[in-house]
Amino acid sequence: MPGSNLTRVEAEERKAIVAAPIHYAVSLDLTVGAKTFGSRTTVTFGATEGASTFLDLIAEQVTAVTLNGETLDPAAVFADDRIALTGLKATNEVTVEALCRYSNTGEGLHRSVDPSDGNVYLYSQFEVPDARRVYAVFDQPDLKAVFDFDVLAPASWIVLSNMPVKATEDDPRMTAEGTLESHPAETCKRWTFEPTPTMSSYLTAICAGPYAEWHTEYANEDGRTVPMAQYCRQALAPAFAKDVDYLFDITKKGFAFYAKTWGVPYPYAKYDQIYVPEYNAGAMENIGMVTIRDQYVFESKVTDALAERRVVTVLHELAHMWFGDLVTMKWWNDLWLNESFAEFTSTLATAEATEWHDAWATFCSGEKSWALRQDQLPTTHPIVAPINDLNDTYVNFDGITYAKGASVLKQLVAYVGRDRFFEGIHNYLGKHAYSNATLADLLAELEATSGRDLKAWSALWLEEAGITTIVPQVETAADGTITSLTLAQTAPAEHPTLRPHRLAVGFYNEDPATGAIVRTDRIELDVDGVATAVPEAAGRRMPALLLVNDDDLTYTKIRFDQVSLAFAEENLHRFDDALARAVIWLAFWDMTRDGEFPAERFVDMTLRLLAHEDESTTFRYALSCMSTAAWHYTPTDRRDAVVRRVAATLWDLAQQAEAGSDNQFQLVTAYLGYGEEGDAEFVRHAAGLKSGEVSLPGLEIDNNLTWTLNRALASVNAMDEDEIAGELAKKETTENREFAMGARAARPTAKAKAWAWQAAIQDESLTNMQLEAVAHGFAGTPRADLAEPYAAKYFETIDWIWAHRTFHMAEALLEGLYPVYADPKSLVDLGDAWLASHADADNALRRIVIENVEGSRRTLKVRAYNEAL
């Protein structure tokens, strides 16, 4: 794989040599052409005299290197994406001039051309180590520095960085041909920015292009006025203008909530949020200028789940300004400190400071279900993960680092108390502001405020992998009162650690007045060890359902007593509390994927829930998990019947749903994923919705839904390549190009799959988002005959992909092209053989393969359970 893979040992060795203060003067020339840009960096830094170290730089060409006044031969000092620095002095100055390459992969400085108007948009993405794709740098988080940026760009553009603009200067030079597709030659302007505070290189940022802009300001709690701005592509401006005031309001609520909660006002000079195209992640917490994927600019109707996720994302990145940016981890093993904290506090802020009051139900159904799945893979790891190199870091942006960590932080708040927890956070932020810290530093502050021994807590919760299961053991008298209740905790053999829990047990019964199932009693207690008695339950009447981990305070798998299990299966849709429904539903899904609950009964229970559920994320994940159960877990001889029953029920529910509702929209969208070639009724529904011959009250067939219908028709061979091209020609935008490629790849023909396979792997002109669309369309056809030819080919191609594509593109290919609908036994056998022959392969690569194969292994296990019923 191109690019050097910095190890933790190398980073520690460099940190021991390079000393503060470190300062960068970075000049970028964005007028050179459409493929490359100029980069000139002067770094001043202290060092151990006589020592040697290196700068990181991934560049097309290094044209000049000067160290302490001596001109060095680039050919002699630049190799393997590093610039060797030898014979260092106590104080040093090195200047590197280079030609760097724009990316179309969302790494480094990404360049996107909007086909609707020809406008060019640039944005940077530097986490984990991609500042080195733009300028020469000590690219590790604990070598914080001050940065001065200046940028030469076309005069018509807006240029943004972490800090406010200090000055602009017109430049009579003209841009090179190809720099601007829409305006091939124009004069230039230089933007010079204020110096940054001391910060890590991965948090620096540059964005440039003719972005549309909106401005306001915030009266900060420290008395300053903080300028705020939002930006997006010109093509999206009309849609975004409708949401800008709302998003400014959400951001201001976040400023106030965080400043109040941990007693530290927003620390930076400005706060920009820029919605950018073809983004690899949800968003990135660059200091003072957050980049966000512009799928969050809603031109078409979206689910309430996505609208809420946008709010959580905005608040997540804002939380990083304090936790991750102001105080940064020393090395990537403490990545969870950034992500878990931002995930926890953004959910808390969403629930308490916005209209999305059921955010913890959203977290349970969405984020926590992600964590449970990740934590039961062979690749599970402690929250504080061992990170030996950069590739280890890449693959740890996962359900454990984000969702399990956030859930465990919620448990920690319950364990130590909310006020004491946030008092400790206040002290932590104050003590380590503008520097780096470790888990030990955080725990020291929380111990001081709470009085709890958190070293033992950390050892069990943060430094050991795996998840426990808690099962209620209940005995009742003849009159229905509880005589004893014990909570039994178990752990899997491969991760046998039992953990202390602060949790609640909820009692749920029918409300005679309304018919809803409501909580009628609650016991909160500490649980530890193999068995914990609950003496407070004795003498209370056994409820219709006894819910362990009520309010979702802790991170654990739960099971039910037999009475509660039967009641929940039949009555889940009647529970009045969204969080209770989410906790119960997640337990049923976990039992289903563990082969402890029949897949068809889970499907039936989910269909009953969908007729009533009003929490959008629970609805979304219920649809998704039901699809997995129907397509992969049901017995082979029953699968077609189950899938058709699900499709028919979804269509019926969509017709019964409230006009224009989120449920109606999700049901229609889900139904369109169940098409089978030769199903005339499906084609009639999909084609009719598109033409208007079939209609559902309140359902608008907008751009994105039109493309969902196009893909659905293509997936059953009711739309050919020429028709897809014709649909794209009606409105060719960045998004519609991706939709069209995905639709073409989804066609159920050998020719379409061969094109998709070849394009995804070989066509490097595809952007990251186009590649993902093609891969998703390729693998998403539920037909074994189309997937089988690629089972062996997939494992034969892994090494080539890993060697020739950047990490993010290799990951997208290896995850997206996995032929999940091929025979799972064949995939397991091929996967095990590949792993056995690649024992020395990069850990990150092995992890991707192991997780793919484990999905097939689980399918075999759960399908066998259901076939044996």
Q: How far apart are CA 85 and CA 108, in angstroms?
A: 23
Q: How far apart are CA 482 and CA 472, in angstroms?
A: 12
Name residues of the chain where pLDDT drops below 70. Answer: 1-3, 183
Among 108, 163, 102, 151, CA closest to 133: 108
> 545 has which bridge partners?
508
pLDDT of residue 434: 97
Question: CB–CB of 6/139 below 8 Å?
Answer: yes
pLDDT of residue 516: 97
What are the residue boundaries of the structural domains of the chain, listed by start?
Answer: 1-209, 211-322, 327-461, 598-719, 751-869
Overall fold of domain 1-209: Immunoglobulin-like (2.60.40)
Instruction: Give the CATH architecture of domain 327-461.
Output: Orthogonal Bundle (1.10)
Query: Of 97, 285, 299, 317, which one is the catalytic site residue?
Result: 317
User: Which residues are CB-contacts of 8 (< 8 A; sequence separation ≥ 6)?
Assistant: 331, 332, 333, 387, 388, 389
Fold match between domain 1-209 and domain 327-461: no
Question: CB–CB of 117/182 below 8 Å?
Answer: yes
Instruction: Give the CATH architecture of domain 211-322.
Output: Orthogonal Bundle (1.10)
pLDDT of residue 1: 36
Supply the pTM of this predicted model.
0.96
Neighbours of 575 (CB within 10 A): 25
Question: CB–CB of 843/394 below 8 Å?
Answer: no
Question: CB–CB of 721/744 below 8 Å?
Answer: yes
pLDDT of residue 95: 98
Q: Is 524 a catalytic residue?
A: no
Give, as one character, the DSSP assignment of residue 80.
Answer: T
From the centroid of its chain, how far is CA 672? 25
The pair of three-digit structure tokens given for residue 573, joined into one six-digit string: 């849709």
Q: Which amino acid is at 277?
A: P
Using a 10 angstrom Cβ sphere, with 0-12 exposed, 13-18 middle and 19 or more buried, the burial of residue 355 is: exposed
Question: CB–CB of 270/205 below 8 Å?
Answer: no
Q: Is the peptide bond before 2 cis (omega within 30 degrees of 0)?
A: no
Starting at the edge strand found earlier in the chain, the sheet holding 158-161 runs 108-113, 120-125, 206-209, 158-161
pLDDT of residue 483: 98
Question: Distance from first CA to last CA of the chain, Å, rounded?
Answer: 47
Q: Is the peptide bond before 642 cis (omega within 30 degrees of 0)?
A: no
Using a 10 angstrom Cβ sphere, with 0-12 exposed, 13-18 middle and 19 or more buried, the burial of residue 751 is: exposed
Question: CB–CB of 290/283 below 8 Å?
Answer: yes
